[in-house]
Amino acid sequence: MKSIRIKNFKAYRDEFDQLENGKIELNNNENFLLYGENGSGKSSIYEAIKVTFYKDKLEESIQSADTPEEQQEYNNEFWSKYKNQNATSNFEIEINDASYKDFDSSDYQVFMIAIDKFCMEDSIRLDELLGKFDFPIENIEIFCEEKVESIQTEINNTLEAFQEKNISVEIDNEDDFNFKIKDSSRGLESKNEISKYFNEAKLNLVILLTLFESIKEFTKNETKTKFLVLDDFITSLDVSNRTFLMRYILDNFSDFQIFIFTHNVYFYNLIMYLVNDIYKTSKNWKYGNLYEISNQHKLYIKGSIETVKEIEGYYKNNHTDIESVGNKIRQRFEVLLYEFSKLLMVGAVEDSKKIIDRIQSNNSIYFKNKENKREKNRTASDLVDDIKYLLDNTTNIKEDIKDKIEEYQKSKLSNIQKTITDLKLYQKITLHPLSHGTIGQSSFTVSEIKESLELLKKLENSIKGLANNDVDGA
């Protein structure tokens, strides 16, 4: 996939107007990692891909009618649920500049895994599990009969590689491909009521490995373009298994184009760390961040928003274009705010003003800088993991936990808080969209532009220093 554009579709009324050409562009079929809180619009992009590649499957659920006119009415009613509720015209989806209605998907094999399909039941059946997800396997039963032994072997091999040596599975092809889950350390094995005997994280790991190993088996010796789309798929996995699973994906799906959507900051940063610093994969990745601002969904591609230095250069050569400079300042300020809130996990990524209120509050912020390039910055989530470890591995619990908290607690962020406070004085530039200005009249003065740029430079440098230079565009 080289590009995707959506309009009037679910969460999105307008195109990605802040992106060049109003679409997500993926040069040389880049992989794509997208971060956004729940409700920010990730699932709408996921659904747009699903509508494009699984349109026929979706239409199978439309009620049959006795007349063509009535059938058209049922069809319209079905597709209307995808249209943005405030839109006055039909939704649009374009893949590689072609409408989803005309796009030729015959040369693609697209596999889509979303967390909402992970409904834990009392038992797992291979054929039923594969049928839940959007996979291009036409005859699932025949596929299971032919591949069940290979899938079982690879699941168990991978579980062992994940240091889950006590857990194993047996898939009984004589019993409708039912799974028997075993835990040798506890002497447990069961086909039924598995959620009663095994924790959710272990079962979800088994399910994910089953899906991935099935994809590998199905695509062996396949020449079609292979595409893997994952939406918040790591929820409820143990932290250690998230790392193993991402390494597993990078190792086993290097010939796929991969889209990963996540609301988990830790996982987003982990993937960037593995891709950029550890694996340094041959295929490039593009990184995006989704935000909801004043009930509008905005997508920023990492590195696409101009830095303060670039804005200053533009202003130097375009003195009279005050409105454009103000818009660039506002976009940069929004990105820095979200990068800061994501970096320190100060709360859900939401409206700019709410983020400012959280940053300026007296609540403690917990963050620990990485000490070298092979490490990652550590956040409040890592602090919780460290405390859990101490609870099980230290005798001087109270003092050790207190020391650990002090390692993370940040008290020297007053410079950032003061700069943000000063920027609020120029909020008509940094927070307000330009549409609020009067037509034909500048929304702000030259002196305000200059002062905003100076303050924005301070904020950018402060956050850049905190994040060891790992700040979008800096």
Instruction: Place 347 in a pLDDT band, splitting at 50, 70 and 90.
Output: very low
Bridge partners of 292, per DSSP, are 297
Instruction: Place 343 in a pLDDT band, splitting at 50, 70 and 90.
Output: low
**Section 212-233 average pLDDT:** 94
Higher-pLDDT residue of 163 and 378 is: 163
Whether residue 440 has pLDDT greater than 50: no
Instruction: Place 434 in a pLDDT band, splitting at 50, 70 and 90.
Output: very low
Share of the chain above pLDDT 70, in %: 81
Tell me the C-alpha to C-alpha distance, in Å, between residue 75 and each of 51, 57, 60, 70, 132.
14, 13, 11, 9, 23
d(CA 15, CA 408) in angstroms, rounded, equals 40
Whether residue 124 has pLDDT greater than 90: yes
Identify the pLDDT of residue 189: 92
Most confident of 83-97, 133-147, 271-285: 133-147
CATH of domain 1-107+224-304: 3.40.50
DSSP structure class, residue 29: G
Higher-pLDDT residue of 325 and 235 is: 325
Question: Half-sphere exposure (CA, 13 Å, Cβ side) for 36?
Answer: 27
Contact 159, 209 (CB under 8 A): yes
432 CB-near residues (< 8 Å, 6+ apart): 330, 443
Whether residue 316 has pLDDT greater than 70: yes
d(CA 318, CA 304) in angstroms, rounded, equals 20
Strands (E), 59-198: 92-95, 98-99, 108-114, 167-172, 178-183, 188-190
Identify the pLDDT of residue 57: 92
Instruction: Place 371 in a pLDDT band, splitting at 50, 70 and 90.
Output: low
Ranking 117-121, 282-286, 325-329 by mean pLDDT, the lowest is 117-121
Whether residue 439 has pLDDT greater than 50: no
**Section 225-250 average pLDDT:** 88
Angle among Cα 33, 326, 444 to the nearest 5 degrees reads: 155
Tell me the C-alpha to C-alpha distance, in Å, between residue 263 and each of 260, 295, 382.
10, 18, 16
d(CA 279, CA 381) in angstroms, rounded, equals 24
Contact 288, 299 (CB under 8 A): yes
Ranking 112-126, 128-142, 238-252, 352-366 by mean pLDDT, the lowest is 352-366
**Section 390-411 average pLDDT:** 84
What is the SS3 assignment for 262?
strand
Identify the pLDDT of residue 350: 43
Which sequence spans correspond to the domains of the chain? Answer: 1-107+224-304, 120-222, 305-466
Q: Convert the pLDDT of each residue in 129-168 to its tens digit.
A: 999 999 999 999 999 999 999 999 999 999 999 888 899 9
Tell me which residue has tokens 């240091």: 163
User: What predicted TM-score, i.e. pTM, was given to this entire model?
Assistant: 0.75
Instruction: Place 258 in a pLDDT band, splitting at 50, 70 and 90.
Output: very high
Instruction: Place 110 in a pLDDT band, splitting at 50, 70 and 90.
Output: very high
399 CB-near residues (< 8 Å, 6+ apart): none
d(CA 14, CA 8) in angstroms, rounded, equals 6
Whether residue 372 has pLDDT greater than 90: no
Strand arrangement, sheet containing 225-231: 108-114, 225-231, 257-262, 31-36, 285-293, 296-301
Whether residue 239 has pLDDT greater than 90: no
d(CA 474, CA 471) in angstroms, rounded, equals 5
**Section 451-455 average pLDDT:** 83
Which residue in 257, 272, 229 sits closest to 30, CA to CA? 257
**Section 246-273 average pLDDT:** 89
Which residue in 119, 97, 121, 108 sits closest to 21, CA to CA? 97
Whether residue 450 has pLDDT greater than 90: no
What is the SS3 assignment for 188?
strand
Identify the pLDDT of residue 348: 42
- The residue type of 58 is L
Share of the chain above pLDDT 90, in %: 40
Exposure b/e, 289-310, CB count within 10 A at least 16 = b: bbbbbeeebbbbbbebbbbbee
Higher-pLDDT residue of 76 and 276 is: 76
Q: Which sign, positive or negative, has the C-alpha torsion 52, 57, 62, 66?
A: positive
Q: What is the CA radius of gyration of the chain?
A: 25
Rounded to 10°, the helix 265-273/239-252 angle is 40
Q: Convert the pLDDT of each residue in 33-84 to its tens digit.
A: 998 888 788 999 999 999 999 999 999 999 999 999 999 999 999 999 999 9
